[in-house]
Structure 1
Amino acid sequence: MAYNSVTQEYGKTYTWEHKAKIMGFKSAEALQTIIDLLQLSITVQAFEDKLAPIYQEAFPRCDLMPGVEKLLLHLKKNNVPIALATSSSQESSDLKTQKWKNVFNLFNHKVYGGSDLEVSHGKPSPDIFLIAAKRFPDNPDPSKCLVFEDSPNGVQAGLAAKMQVVMVPDPQLPKHLIGDATLVLKSLEDFKPEDFGLPPFVA
């Protein structure tokens, strides 16, 4: 919605095909890609300036995907270490999650790819997931890590990090971009922790 409000000023429509290409990119890289794809006569900075007020209005209304809160509470209760590895900056992420602080406080730590200086490359590079794993006290082997993703670039990043990946794609994501993940689910509500050696949900 935010991107389209800008691109349509230039007579161009930002579609799910475009969105799929940039999901997981750092912000400036994502915007430059859209400018190139749609041949927009705008700079990245000007694009960001136009998006900022839209984000301020829209992001605080963001809701959780179905099944997220139940899964995170379950993992926390069972002492399974969990981290957030998002391509957003901390500022952007805080805006999106401000009404869900109780849920986002469950993470052992958070890696914000958009503002963390240690994250050199955004998804589909594996950097963000390898850094997230390294910051756990026991520095687990990537093969012991499970990634949850909604984007094709995120799936590729998880696989490149040698981790298992559960993908929960948006229904509007083009079907040909779904398939490389270890497991693809329509909803996190369908996730069975025991399939990955985790404690099962108690009915």
Structure 2
Amino acid sequence: MSKFKQISHVIFDMDGVLLDTEPLYTKAIQNIVGRYGKVFTWDLKVKVMGTHRADASKTVVKELDLPITWQEFDQMLQEQYDIVLADPEIFPGARQLVHHLHENKVPISVATSSSLKSFELKTAKHKDFFKLFDHVVCGGSDPEVKKGKPSPDIFLISASRFPDKPKPAECLVVEDAPSGVQAAISAGMQVVMIPDENVPQERRRLATVVVSSIDLIPLEKFGLPPLK
């Protein structure tokens, strides 16, 4: 039996998958914690990758023992985001893959932990690209997303908003963060992981398949037309 199951719909995380934003997030957080003589380490980054901003703010303040409330940190973080996240680039492989799936009439969506405000900031210069998706779920502000990743809410809601409402087993998720991989698995979906090279092996093991670049996803193994 193959571990790969045929799917019909693809759900994409955004940060670190479609948009090259992860280094910008790191810069924004370090700009804040550096004021208190702290360092935003890779181990801490792995804990907050893919989570709601409020959850990330609570974790950073607690882990680094910052002398401010998480709400104060969160406000500073929003100010930093407005500065550093205004112009991220689309990964070239992501542009190619999304156009390929759209042209082959494969239903696709975006499921991001960002709020709608943050999504609009980061995608302002890429509106035509994001019009290719059937819909976008912004977990940071969507009232139906009760819990952030690693809970499965965002992916289950994204699946439910396709017109034909596919079953979870019919959906493939594309993620970079361990918390997102866990969320997809908990939703009953298969998941392709494109991890940062620093993500340890044990944080990759839940993924259906791990690839180093988005254009290396073995589409045909999931019953999708292969990239030319």
Between the aligned partners of 1:20 and 1:65, the Cα distance in structure 2 is 21
Normalized per residue, the structure richer in helix is 1
1:153 aligned residue? 179
2:49 aligned residue? 23
- Give the C-alpha shift of residue 66 in structure 1: 3.7
Structure-1-length-normalised TM-score? 0.95
Counterpart check, 1:180 vs 2:206 = yes
Counterpart check, 1:50 vs 2:79 = no
CA RMSD, 1 decimal: 1.2
- Runs of 4+ in structure 1 deviating by more than 4 angstroms, as ranges, are none
Contact 1:168 1:184 in 2 (8 A): yes
The number of residue pairs the alignment matches comes to: 202
Q: 1:14 to 1:175 in 2, by over 3 A?
A: farther
Counterpart check, 1:11 vs 2:37 = yes
Gaps of 5+ in 1: none
Contact 2:149 2:183 in 1 (8 A): yes
Between the aligned partners of 1:179 and 1:117, the Cα distance in structure 2 is 31
Contact 2:113 2:139 in 1 (8 A): yes
Between the aligned partners of 1:170 and 1:98, the Cα distance in structure 2 is 25
Q: Partner letter of residue 107 of structure 1? A: F
Structure-2-length-normalised TM-score? 0.85
2:99 aligned residue? 73
Q: Partner letter of residue 145 of structure 1? A: C
Q: Which of 78, 89, 93 is the aligned partner of 2:115? A: 89
- Give the C-alpha shift of residue 177 in structure 1: 2.0
Between the aligned partners of 2:79 and 2:59, the Cα distance in structure 1 is 21
Between the aligned partners of 1:189 and 1:199, the Cα distance in structure 2 is 13
Between the aligned partners of 1:104 and 1:72, the Cα distance in structure 2 is 9
Gaps of 5+ in 2: 1-26
Between the aligned partners of 2:189 and 2:78, the Cα distance in structure 1 is 34
Aligned pairs for 1:96-175 (under 5 A) are: 96-175=122-201
Higher relative contact order (CA 8 A, sep 6+): 2
Between the aligned partners of 2:188 and 2:156, the Cα distance in structure 1 is 9
Between the aligned partners of 2:63 and 2:217, the Cα distance in structure 1 is 36
